[in-house]
Amino acid sequence: MVQRDDSVLLVQRRDDGALRWQFPAGIVKPGASPADAAVRETYVETAVHCSVREQIGARVHPHTGVYCEYFHCDYLAGEAENRDVVENASVAWVAVADLGKFVPESNIYPPILEVLGGTHV
């Protein structure tokens, strides 16, 4: 999760024909650092440079069954743009207060909500 002031970076994924908003994500190759992968994938998908502030946690995603590690990242530079048009339909900075309009709160990993200041989305 990349945060810039009171906004977070989201990508709109093209999954099975449906368009769903989520935080930028990527696959970690064997031997690679998950934190480095998060920074790299964010840049590759969105042209946004970020740095990892902290690891938020990890879980097996309840909908996909994929093991996920979550990082809180700080925005460094770059204008958000969709650089992966095959996987993503759009990229946007979204106010934390409006996050629930894009991603149902029940789909957000609860520690992310804690990092963002509670369940006010």
Average pLDDT of the residues in 92-105: 94
Q: Cα torsion for 103, 3, 11, 86, to the nearest 10°?
A: -160
**CATH class label, 2-115:** alpha beta
Confidence of residue 119 (pLDDT cuts 50, 70, 90): very low
Q: Which of 68, 87, 97, 119 is nearest to 6 (CA)?
A: 97
Residues 6+ apart with CB under 8 A from 71: 1, 34, 35, 38, 52, 53, 54, 55, 56
| Reported pTM | 0.91
How far apart CA 61 and CA 43 sit, in angstroms, is: 23
Q: What is the mean pLDDT of the chain?
A: 91
**Angle CA 73–115–88, to nearest 5:** 50
How far apart CA 36 and CA 59 sit, in angstroms, is: 18
Average pLDDT of the residues in 104-118: 89
The predicted-structure confidence for 28-84, as pLDDT tens digits, reads as follows 999 999 999 999 999 999 999 999 999 999 999 887 888 999 999 999 999 999 999
